[in-house]
């Protein structure tokens, strides 16, 4: 088997271990169950077509919460003495800080109406980032070049698989009604008709007419 094929097979195995990691370590489900639920609800009831800036800002709460919770856990373990400074601790700090920065970047970009917020803040992208980094934080997969490349290479696969599911699954009534409401034409404002006068002479000319008759 040639080296390229061997490397690709290794990437596939590593990616499967990343995605399936939470099912081998129930501790990770504390973070991922809310992420899964938020992904399903938002993906099929709000973001089947696109992501608004408001949706992106709302989605930023997930990585912000995850990153903050990880940093809090690291701090508690330092104070308890169960974690000492080293390669493992440094890796956890970097991953937690990146997750927190990622969420804040979505939030700030959404407030500034930046177009990138509608992509990096889309729920499927946020979910993929959380799903990919959680096994790294908990140490179920190695923090190395193969893991990084597998996460990057298979991101488009994940993204378009979800896109295909969006097209296959029928639209929900909630999504349909929201789109009808958004596309509903605005009710035109009532135009107040201008006052008309039945007098043969308008008021502004009445005084002149009266002077001529005198």
- Mean pLDDT calculated for residue range 178-201: 58
pTM of the complete model = 0.76
Four-point Cα dihedral 169, 43, 15, 161, nearest 10: 30
pLDDT in tens, 71-124: 888 888 888 877 777 787 888 889 999 999 999 999 999 999 888 998 999 999
Both tokens of 159, joined, read 């993204």
CA angle, 103 then 109 then 115, to 5°: 120
Joined tokens for residue 170:
């029928």
- Say which residue the tokens 């378009």 belong to: 160
Q: Tell me the average pLDDT across 186-192.
A: 58
Tell me the CA end-to-end span of the chain in Å, nearest whole number.
Answer: 117
Say how far apart CA 113 and CA 111 lie, in whole Å. 5
Residue 147 in contact with residue 16, Cβ under 8 Å?
no
* Cα-based distances in Å from 70 to 65, 125, 130, 139: 9, 20, 12, 13
| Integer CA distances (angstroms), 212 to 67, 89, 200, in order | 88, 101, 15
Q: How far is CA 37 from CA 9, 123, 127, 166, 180, in A?
A: 31, 11, 10, 16, 26
Task: Give residue-wise pLDDT tens across range 146-184.
Answer: 889 999 999 999 999 988 888 887 766 766 565 555 566
Q: How far apart are CA 131 and CA 162, in angstroms?
A: 14
Is residue 164 within 8 A of residue 172, CB to CB? The reply is no
For residue 53, pLDDT beyond 80: yes
HSE-up (13 A, CA, CB side) for residue 39: 18
What residue ranges do the domains of the chain occupy?
3-183
d(CA 99, CA 194): 61
CA torsion 191→195→196→201, rounded to 10°?
A: -150
């Amino acid at each position: 088997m040639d080296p390229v094929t061997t490397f690709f097979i290794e990437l596939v195995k590593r990616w499967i271990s990343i995605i399936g990691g939470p099912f081998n370590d129930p501790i990770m489900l504390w973070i991922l169950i809310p992420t899964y639920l938020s992904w399903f609800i938002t993906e099929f009831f709000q973001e089947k077509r696109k992501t608004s800036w408001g949706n992106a800002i709302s989605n930023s709460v997930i990585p912000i919460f995850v990153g903050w919770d990880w940093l809090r856990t690291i701090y508690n373990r330092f104070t308890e003495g169960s974690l000492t400074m080293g390669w493992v601790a440094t890796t956890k700090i970097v991953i937690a800080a990146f997750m927190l920065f990622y969420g804040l970047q979505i939030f700030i970009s959404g407030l500034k109406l930046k177009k990138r917020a509608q992509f990096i803040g889309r729920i499927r992208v946020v979910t993929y980032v959380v799903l990919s980094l959680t096994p790294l934080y908990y140490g179920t997969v190695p923090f190395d070049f193969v893991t990084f490349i597998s996460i990057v290479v298979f991101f488009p696969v994940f993204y378009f698989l979800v896109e295909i599911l969006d097209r296959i699954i029928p639209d929900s009534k909630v999504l349909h009604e929201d789109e009808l409401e958004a596309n509903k034409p605005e009710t035109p404002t009532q135009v107040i008709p201008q006052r008309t006068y039945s007098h043969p002479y308008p008021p502004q000319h009445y005084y002149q007419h009266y002077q001529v008759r005198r």
